[in-house]
Every structure is written in structure tokens, then in C-alpha cells.
Structure 1
Amino acid sequence: MPAFPATGRSALRRGRVSRPEQVYLVTATTRHRQPTFMDHARARLASQLIHARGTWGDAGLLAWVLMPDHWHGLLELGEEPLDRVVARFKAAVARELHASRLFEGKLWDRSFHDHALRREESLLGVARYIVGNPIRAGLAHSALGYPYWNAVWLDEDEPLPL
């Protein structure tokens, strides 16, 4: 029987390797790309969970943005595989939104996209790309005008330069 190329979620999983200390750009989309996080209460609760250290296990979250229909994160893995880290994040957000009665039904698409950063790629450049998403989408004129993002490079008084 001829082998058919993988499509959809199986294509995303094929070749996925989790390496400790590797930095990944991760994108998770809401179910059917619904603008679930246009709602302030949902976005605020999700952001609190994104900030919670327990959400990430031994991985480090370097930068992130929550958009109306997706989330981008820059993650540095520990020993736990990437798929488990992302699954825990998605489950935590869905569980809390359901428990708070802010959302019903399936929140996230089943899979996610990831890109392992190469040595020559700039962490700060990728972080700027991530937090610049709301500006490119027309949701804000500057990073300071959009509340649902963060990066480890921030001082308390100084935002990530764009």
C-alpha cells in the first residue's frame, strides 16, 4: 500500500522533537479561529494563567501575546516534552474559563504549531515579532496599548522596544 503524505494535525506532529533547553516559538489557535479572547474577562483570566509559573512546569516562558483567536509564546524547554507543556497550558486555560462560566465548549484547536529557533535567530527579534502582533492586527498603536502580553526582558518601567 503506498504511503500518503501526512496532513493536518499528523503533519504538524511528524518530525516534532522536544529538546531540553531548546527555545520554541509556539502558536495555539482557538477552535475554528473564533475570537474568543476579544472578551476582556476571558482574556484577563487566560493572561493570569499564562503568568502563573505552575502552568509551564520546568519550561520557561520568555515572551507571549494573547490575540483574540490565538496565542503565541516563546518557550524554553526544561526536561518535559513540548507537547505536554502546551497541552497543560491549553487545558489550564480551558478548565478555568469553564469553571468561571466565561466559556462553554471546546476552546482550542487540537494541535499547535511550533518552530525551534536556530542559533542564528535572535530571541529578542522573535520576542518583538510576538508582542508586535496586536499592532500589526490593528488592535493597538503600540505594545503599551495592548494589555495581553509580556516578556522576560521587561524592566518594571520600560517596555520591550519595538
Structure 2
Amino acid sequence: MPRQPNSHLLRRGRYSETGRAYLVTAVVHQRQPLFREFRLGRLLVAEFKRLHDAGLVNSLAWVVMPDHFHWLFDLNHSTLPDVMRQTKSRSTLSINRARCSRERFWQRGYHDRAVRAEDDIRKMARYIIANPLRAGLVEHIGDYPLWDAAWL
């Protein structure tokens, strides 16, 4: 029997707090590795930058993997659902335009984790940007083009 998606459960009990750091992950529909195409990954990065420049978030670290992304940020003048809605909807428009497509781009929902005061945020950032190494996509992080961290 096929597994039923549980994205609706991700929203249960979700609360966002201004000034708190969050680690969010979102996955491409059917885990298609569309971000292997660098230009599509850069369109997503442009949305991260737009939200950062608008002051809604303070981006700390991110990595765009072939079929998903991880983004660590401080939430400033918005809510977590609004940031993710904007990120996913605006990136869908720009990416589908670039692909000449009208297909669904993202899986429903997203995973989020509020960073606790006792968490080492730089350690979390290093873990995030090391994803391409652990996935075997590159041998050196400098060889992977779709990541950044505020401390580098």
C-alpha cells in the first residue's frame, strides 16, 4: 500500500517567534533533482536574498541540494509560514518560467526546527553546508556552488 503523505501533520502545533533562529527544509515535488541545473538553484537563492534584503529574515546559512534545500535564518519581521509561502510561491513562478513549465514544483509543507538557546548555531551552519560532502556530490565544499554562510 502506498505511503500517505503527512505534510498536514507538519503544521500541527507550529508557532513562529520573531527574533528566533529557524532551520527549515523544503523538498521538490516527487524529489526530482531539478537543482542539479545550476541556473534553477540560483533562482531559489534569489528568493532567499530577496527575503533577507527585505528584512523579513537574516540568512545565516543555506544549501540547495539537487532535490531540496536547508535554510538557517533569524526570523525578523514576518511569520515562518509567510516566509515559506513567499519562498515557495515566488521561486515556483521564476523556476517554472525558466523551465517553460506550469508543473507543481514543491512538495506540500516543509520541515522546521526552532533553534534553542543552547544550540551552537555555527555548528548547525557547518552541518548544513557540509550536506553536499555527505551526499557524495563533491570532495571539497568549495567545489559545490549552491551554499553560503554568514561567517564565511
Give the TM-score taking structure 2 as reference length. 0.89
**Unaligned stretches of 5+ in structure 1?**
1-6, 155-162
Aligned length: 148
In 2, are the aligned partners of 1:55 and 1:92 still within 8 Å (CA)? no
1:152 aligns with 2:132: no
Quick one: percent identity of the two aligned structures?
Answer: 38
1:95 maps to what in 2? 93
1:32 aligns with 2:42: no
State how far apart, in whole Å, the 1-side matches of 2:114 and 2:84 are.
14
CA 1:112/1:34 → structure 2, altered by over 3 Å: closer, same or farther? same
1:52 maps to what in 2? 50
Compute the RMSD of aligned alpha carbons. 1.8
Note the alpha carbon deviations across 1:54-107, whole angstroms, 9 max, x for none.
676521111000000000000111131101101101112111112223554111
**Secondary structure of the structure 1 residue equivalent to 2:99:** coil
Structure 1 counterpart of 2:134, from 130, 133, 136:
136
**Secondary structure of the structure 2 residue equivalent to 1:72:** strand
CA 1:34/1:135 → structure 2, altered by over 3 Å: closer, same or farther? same
In 2, are the aligned partners of 1:12 and 1:111 still within 8 Å (CA)? yes
Bigger radius of gyration, 1 or 2? 1
Q: What is the Cα deviation at residue 146 of structure 1?
A: 0.2
**Unaligned stretches of 5+ in structure 2?**
none
1:159 maps to what in 2? none
1:41 aligns with 2:39: yes
In 1, are the aligned partners of 2:63 and 2:146 still within 8 Å (CA)? yes
In 2, are the aligned partners of 1:56 and 1:88 still within 8 Å (CA)? no
State how far apart, in whole Å, the 1-side matches of 2:12 and 2:45 are.
30
